[in-house]
Amino acid sequence: MTLPLNHFKRALKEGRQQIGLWNTIAGPVVAEALAGTGFDWLLIDTEHSLTDVPDVLGMLQAVSAYPISPVVRPAANDPVLFKRLLDFGAQTLLVPYVQTAKEAQAAVAAMRYPPRGIRGAGGTIRANRFGTVDDYMNRAEQELCLLVQVETAATLDQIEAIAAVDGVDGLFIGPNDLAATMGYTGNPGHPVVKTAILDAIGRIAATGKAAGILTLDRDFAQECMEKGSTFTAVGVDLVTLLGGVRALARDFGRG
């Protein structure tokens, strides 16, 4: 079999806007249902959700028939988590809380097999279609994409250093954690935080690496895209679900 292409990675390299959705509801049913909604990418979140590593395999399989790019977020910058998710066939990882170039280099190493990295070598894995992708270990890296999260006030000073790390494909601004570490806990929409986010996106874009954000504010999403965000998440499944259900309850005098 041929090595599966990472269309998301190619889109970022070509500067083609990718509109995404956060998937926090575990399991293949919701993942597949969301995969058919027209978004470019789907963030399978194992950090802030009930989705755990074993769930991800079935979710990747469920979305594989749809024209959507799965992006998987491990709970930490942990090579053991990377190893399992990459073996499941994840080709793009969004890694939380990367604060320095050194931590970014560690994430890159975890994405790569020796001698360029430390990724553990499994033979019969979904990533190599159970041993049918020719020379997978020497070719895998070309179709893997590493996105790291800039999400503390201190990390804002490290953007250029992190972006300069070979193997980092994009930097994502985590608005809630950034707001909290800036002293605006629970208020990512504060003008001071928004200004910092827009400045960070512009700086990331200026490095040539891809810039990304998650915001439920449609006007701010537009501002972020105009500033240079090219992987722009605009919704969270559970937020949208509960918003619609609560509105329905109110329509019938409930809730």
Ligand X SMILES: O=C(O)C(=O)C[C@H](O)[C@@H](O)CO
**Residues tagged active-site:** 48
Q: Which of residues 181-220 bind ligand X (CB under 6 A)?
A: 214
Q: Which stretch binds ligand X (CB under 6 A): 74-82, 129-137, 174-182, 193-201?
A: 174-182
Angstrom CA distances, 151 to 60, 186, 213, 219, stand at 26, 14, 10, 21
Q: What backbone torsions phi and psi does residue 186 show, to the nearest 5 degrees?
A: 80, 5
39 or 136: whose CB is closer to ligand X? 39
State in angstroms the smallest separation of the CB of 37 from ligand X.
18
State in angstroms the smallest separation of the CB of 145 from ligand X.
17
- Mapped onto helix, strand or coil, the DSSP state of residue 127 is helix
Q: Which of residues 4-33 bind ligand X (CB under 6 A)?
A: 22
Residue pointed to by tokens 């079935």: 58
136 or 220: whose CB is closer to ligand X? 220
d(CA 63, CA 61): 6
Cβ–Cβ < 8 Å for 146, 108 = yes
> How many Cα atoms occupy the beta-carbon half-sphere of 76 within 13 Å?
3
167 or 175: whose CB is closer to ligand X? 175
Angstrom CA distances, 62 to 55, 84, 113, 203, 219, stand at 11, 18, 27, 36, 32
91 or 152: whose CB is closer to ligand X? 152
Q: Which of residues 78-137 bind ligand X (CB under 6 A)?
A: none
Any idea what DSSP says for residue 154?
A: G
C-beta neighbour count of 4 within 10 angstroms: 15
State in angstroms the smallest separation of the CB of 174 from ligand X.
3
Q: What is the CA radius of gyration of the chain?
A: 18
61 or 176: whose CB is closer to ligand X? 176
Q: What backbone torsions phi and psi does residue 129 show, to the nearest 5 degrees?
A: 50, 45
State in angstroms the smallest separation of the CB of 32 from ligand X.
21
State in angstroms the smallest separation of the CB of 176 from ligand X.
3
Q: Which stretch binds ligand X (CB under 6 A): 25-33, 55-63, 156-164, 169-177?
A: 169-177
| 48, 126, 129, 190: residue in contact with ligand X (rule CB under 6 A) | 48
Query: Closest residue to ligand X, Cβ-based?
Result: 174
Answer yes or no whether residue 177 interacts with ligand X by CB under 6 A: yes
- Mapped onto helix, strand or coil, the DSSP state of residue 70 is strand
| 21, 111, 221, 236: residue in contact with ligand X (rule CB under 6 A) | 236
d(CA 35, CA 147): 21
State in angstroms the smallest separation of the CB of 188 from ligand X.
6
Contact positions toward ligand X, by CB under 6 A? 22, 48, 149, 151, 174-177, 214, 236
